[in-house]
Chain A
Amino acid sequence: MFKRFLFLEWKAFFRSASFGKSLGLKILLIFLAIYFSLSFLFLGFGLYPIIEKFYPDVSPPEFVNRFVLIWLVLELGFRFMLQSLPIIDIKPLIILPINRRKVVNFVLLKSLYSFYNILSLLWIIPFGIFSIYKGHSTVGMLGWILAMVFLSLCVNFLNFIIKKKFTENLKALLPVILVIIIFGLLEYFKVFEISPRFGVLMNFLFDFPYLAVFPFLGVITLYKWNQYNLENKFYLDTALKGKKQSTNTHNFGWTQKFGSIAPFLQLDLKLIWRNKRPKTTIYMSFLLLLYGLIFYTNDSYADFHAMFVFAGIFMTGIFMINFGQFIPAWDASYYPLMMSQNIPMKQYLQSKAGLITFSVVVLTILTTPYLYFGWHIFLINLVCGLYNIGVNVPVLLFAGAYNKKRIDLDKSPFMNYQGTGATQWLMVFPLMGIPILVFWLLNTFLSFEVALNTLAVLGVLGLLLRNILMEKICRLYKKRKYQMLTGFKQTGE
């Protein structure tokens, strides 16, 4: 039976609609995987000698044990954010003569093959073997390796439970996070150090390796718990009941002032407000306003103003970049409607441009407190805002004509690459590279004032030419319409 499931998975992977289409993305991910694998492998081999060198009077395995708990908590955190759970479409399987338990077991066992499990093996095993080689008890270290592997698997299944239970309701997780933070603070201020205490327990493994059976029991318990959870979910009830979502019927009536683009502006605001992924772009925008602190407080940038241009473009344009680069893919799921309804393309695009412009203005105003760090920073941010509005908005809309990847609005925004294609990666250069380059060249060879004025003039020029540019972009969207429509129809990752 497992063989059949694997066969289904195989087909699902190779026959998915976008297989091969996001090759660039896959290569990037593979590159990252190799990079992290190698890093962990080096860590595994290098950890022993490093500890020996810097802390010559402790036994390296015991030293490592002191941090095991912290490591496990961090691992859980990372897994929670990054690891995607194995999914299998149970709907078609429910009516087939297949044991429920078999399907559940398949899903759970499949999670063992996750890259994150292999990653921790990559440092645990080399470190254990190195310790044996250095004369620690073979049986003791083997016990330690097993215990560590089991602990890592505990994290795997614990993450499974947390994700299944809490992704719908993140607020319920708050107490857990609070407890972790409290322990973390106690640890940090050396009031109550829990991790070394856990390390003492881990040390018993060296003398009594059979104690590794306890983490093993932990794995079994968590596995059974998962099994129980999933088997109870193995009904369509959950799907049929339908989500009882409270609706938000705020109307954004004030948009009426904007005349002919009002309906689209309203639609876009609702889009952002009522869907997870676009909504996060808002939170991100406010969060990243703090980005400037990194640059302005760092003395090494004090004479390198081009970096401030980077910060300026970034902070005033972060919503523009995050939201704008996926125009019009946000509307992918109803693009046929937009294309056959009585909607002039120009109004549609103008409302998008209007929304982004508005965001840049707001963000630019919010960066004004950075005046504290000097007039030049204030001016740079102001000019960057102007440049974003004048030049980058049309550039983004232009690039949008080449978007043809669908975005499903209600998918989670974390590590979600849906809709990301070569266009998005290529866009970084013109959006940020060009203004930085222009500024840097003029600032270095002429003066700060000339550099700043040039950016401002470019922005104003863009604004003056806005209408002509929009006409051209409009024509391009009309030409690319059919490709977009076909592209947006392709569902699947």
Chain B
Amino acid sequence: MISVSNLTKTYSGTTVLNIDQLEIPEGQNFGLVGNNGAGKTTFFSLLLDLIQPSTGRIFNDEITVSESEAWKSHTASFIDESFLIGYLTPEEYFYFVGELRNYNKADVDSFIMQFEDFFNGEILSRNKYLRDLSKGNQKKVGIVAALIGDPKVVILDEPFANLDPTTQIRLKKLIKEQTQTKETTFLISSHDLIHVTEVCERIVVLDKGAVVKDIKTSEATLKELETYFEEQTLA
């Protein structure tokens, strides 16, 4: 689904991302792990064509991301609050995103119905603008909006951060269901090793912009990751 070749991003002489080759097949839950500055957000921004690569290309469903806009119709994302429109209410925001993805009002209404649990009564029909919601609730809105219209690829940057424990558990369930029933390809970055290992079938560790580990998740993965990051503290 996603394929990366010779991708580098350099800011005034410093290489912040350098990935030779990376293939993410359709329907895979892909986890991205790494310390601050490892290049996770840079990679996601490149995937969304928000910054230009210094060299190399990213293909999203065989479309070169930086050359055509065709990938946008099957790709959704929530990176940070700059993906929210502060002066809309959550419902209006969902309708707006829905319209961009060919969902009419009724479609969107029935779609967000299934997230009532997830929203925990704090989002819908509260008559509040998004800018007045708490960080955690904003995040919930952003994540759910990214799922509208059955996108084939969903990119979430740090989806677990700022969420309360109940919602974290619900989100994990949600992601697993989506991959099983709809073959959605999730790209998720996280600092929380337990969450990623639970949700993702495959985990890639980035360090200073380079892929240092590429693991197919198993029982031993969490231990392996913990050992890796412990070694980092010694190095």
Q: B48 near A: Cβ within 8 Å?
A: yes
Secondary structure dominating the interface of B: loop
Q: A485 near B: Cβ within 8 Å?
A: yes
Q: Mark B66-95, 1 if CB is under 8 A from A, else 0.
A: 000100110111011011111111001000
Q: Which of B69, B77, B86, B129 contacts A334 (CB 8 A)?
A: B86
Q: Is the CB of B50 within 8 A of A340?
A: yes
Q: Which of B49, B69, B82 contacts A337 (CB 8 A)?
A: B82
Q: Mark A253-283, 1 if CB is under 8 A from B, else 0.
A: 0000000001100110011001100000000
Given A334-B82, A336-B82, are A341 and B97 also a contact pair (CB < 8 Å)? yes
Secondary structure dominating the interface of A: helix
Q: Is the CB of A249 within 8 A of B89?
A: yes
Q: Which of A251, A336, A343 contacts B79 (CB 8 A)?
A: A336
Q: Which residues of A contact B86 (CB under 8 A)?
A: 333-334, 409
Q: Is the CB of B85 within 8 A of A341?
A: no
Interface residue tally for chain B (C-beta within 8 Å): 32
Q: Which of A242, A267, A345, A485 contacts B50 (CB 8 A)?
A: A485
Q: Is the CB of B132 within 8 A of A341?
A: no
Residue of A nearest to B79 (CB): A336
Q: A198 near B: Cβ within 8 Å?
A: no
Minimal beta-carbon separation of B88 from chain A (angstroms): 7
Interface residue tally for chain A (C-beta within 8 Å): 33
Q: Which residues of B contact A262 (CB under 8 A)?
A: 99
Q: Which residues of A contact B92 (CB under 8 A)?
A: 249, 251, 270
Q: A293 near B: Cβ within 8 Å?
A: no
Q: Is the CB of A336 within 8 A of B83?
A: yes
Q: How far is the CA of A144 from the CA of B79 in the complex (A)?
A: 63
Q: B59 near A: Cβ within 8 Å?
A: no
Q: Which residues of B contact A333 (CB under 8 A)?
A: 82, 86
Q: B101 near A: Cβ within 8 Å?
A: yes
The contact sample of 10 A-B pairs, CB cut-off 8 A, is A245-B128, A245-B132, A247-B128, A251-B92, A263-B100, A267-B88, A334-B86, A336-B48, A340-B49, A340-B75
* Extra 6 A-B pairs, beta carbons < 8 Å, given A270-B87, A337-B84: A242-B132, A245-B129, A246-B127, A270-B88, A334-B83, A334-B86
Binding site for A on B (CB under 8 A): 48-52, 69, 72-73, 75-77, 79-80, 82-89, 92, 96-97, 99-101, 127-129, 131-132
